[in-house]
């Protein structure tokens, strides 16, 4: 007997897609029979997950250790992004696509074992969900609920939209604050004067040279700090560019697949039209022969 909504979610999002709607109806009926009208309404409002969401949910529930490996990789990549480690970003950026593809293949394999084959479009949604998990901690928290109702997607910029992607609850928000401190401005000081004492020209010259060197060294230090900041920014934007480029490549592959399908369906449709035209002509000829026969009687 279901006593609360979370228990219903645990049951519903653990079953195959074909079982979801009948089980939801059973749980609604149980809640109503127990006089829990509000609970029955809430259970009835739970959305059926898409095939991609179900595949990810099932894998998270049954193979959490393999998901943990991707989470550990995600932590490394996010840390590299936080510290602006250019070398790490380049290495991990290349590794990300390989890991996403490998785990997406495993999810498809496990889904097939349950009798649910994933088509090309659904498999792409699974990859996009895993990419979102790596990119965003809220997306990761949503995936780990095992109760996704739809796939996630990440554009390569900003955070992942996790609104209404989970059957119950929202991923927690985490606010990260940076100190934003830049290089300090060099301090200025005045060399003490000698009052009415005789002026030591050589000492004054050395003092001017020392002051000038200090000023120049401060300028070099500031320029180096700005160069390091620019290098970090280039690394971050390069990584983002690679993400977007990968996304465009995925879209182009999907578009090519869709065009191939369209061409195939168009050819089949043309063939079907031709068959229909021939059948129409045959029917007209048969009807004409029948009419001629009837007229001769």
Q: 137-172, pLDDT tens digit by residue?
A: 999 999 999 999 999 998 877 788 898 899 876 433
Of the listed ranges 84-98, 194-208, 283-297, the least confidently predicted one is 194-208
Query: Can you say how many angstroms the Cα of residue 66 is from the centroid of all Cα atoms in its chain?
Result: 18
- pLDDT surpasses 90 at 62: yes
**Per-residue pLDDT at 86:** 78
Q: Is the pLDDT of residue 256 over 60?
A: yes
Most confidently modeled of 78-87, 115-124, 164-173, 186-195?
115-124
Model confidence at 188, pLDDT cuts 50, 70, 90, reads: very low
* pLDDT on residue 145: 92
How far is 1 from 112, CA to CA, in rounded Å?
A: 31
Tell me if 2 sits within 8 A of 8, measured CB to CB. Answer: yes
Note the pLDDT of residue 199: 36
Q: Which residues contact 80 (CB under 8 A, 6 or more apart)?
A: 88, 89, 92
- Residue whose tokens read 């897609």: 17
What integer pLDDT is reported at residue 277 of this predicted model? 92
Tens of pLDDT, residue by residue over 23-51, are 999 999 999 998 899 999 999 999 999 99
Residue 177 has pLDDT above 50, yes or no: no
User: Model-level pTM?
Assistant: 0.57
Residue 184 pLDDT exceeds 50: no
The pLDDT confidence band at residue 201, using thresholds 50, 70 and 90, is: very low
């Amino acid at each position: 007997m279901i006593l609360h909504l979370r228990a219903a979610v645990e049951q519903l999002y653990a079953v195959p897609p074909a079982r979801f709607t009948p089980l939801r109806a059973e749980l609604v009926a149980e809640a109503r029979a127990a006089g829990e009208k509000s609970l029955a309404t809430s259970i009835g409002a739970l959305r059926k997950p898409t095939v991609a969401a179900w595949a990810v949910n099932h894998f998270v529930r049954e193979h959490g250790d393999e998901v943990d490996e991707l989470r550990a990789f995600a932590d490394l990549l996010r840390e590299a992004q936080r510290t602006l480690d250019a070398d790490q970003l380049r290495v991990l950026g290349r590794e990300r696509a390989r890991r996403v593809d490998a785990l997406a293949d495993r999810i498809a394999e496990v889904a097939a074992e349950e009798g649910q084959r994933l088509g090309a479009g659904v498999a792409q949604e699974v990859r996009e969900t895993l990419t979102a998990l790596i990119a965003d901690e809220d997306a990761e928290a949503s995936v780990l609920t095992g109760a996704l109702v739809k796939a996630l997607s990440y554009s390569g910029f900003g955070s992942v939209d996790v609104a209404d992607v989970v059957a119950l609850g929202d991923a927690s928000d985490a606010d990260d604050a940076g100190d934003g401190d830049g290089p300090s401005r060099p301090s200025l000081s005045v060399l003490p004067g000698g009052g009415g004492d005789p002026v030591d020209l050589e000492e004054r010259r050395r003092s001017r040279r020392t002051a000038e060197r200090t000023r120049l060294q401060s300028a070099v230090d500031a320029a180096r700090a700005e160069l390091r900041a620019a290098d970090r920014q280039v690394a971050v934007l390069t990584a983002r560019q690679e993400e977007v480029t990968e996304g465009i490549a995925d879209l182009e592959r999907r578009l090519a697949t869709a065009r191939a399908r369209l061409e195939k369906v168009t050819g089949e449709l043309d063939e079907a039209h031709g068959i229909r035209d021939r059948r129409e002509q045959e029917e007209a000829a048969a009807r004409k022969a029948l009419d001629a026969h009837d007229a001769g009687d």
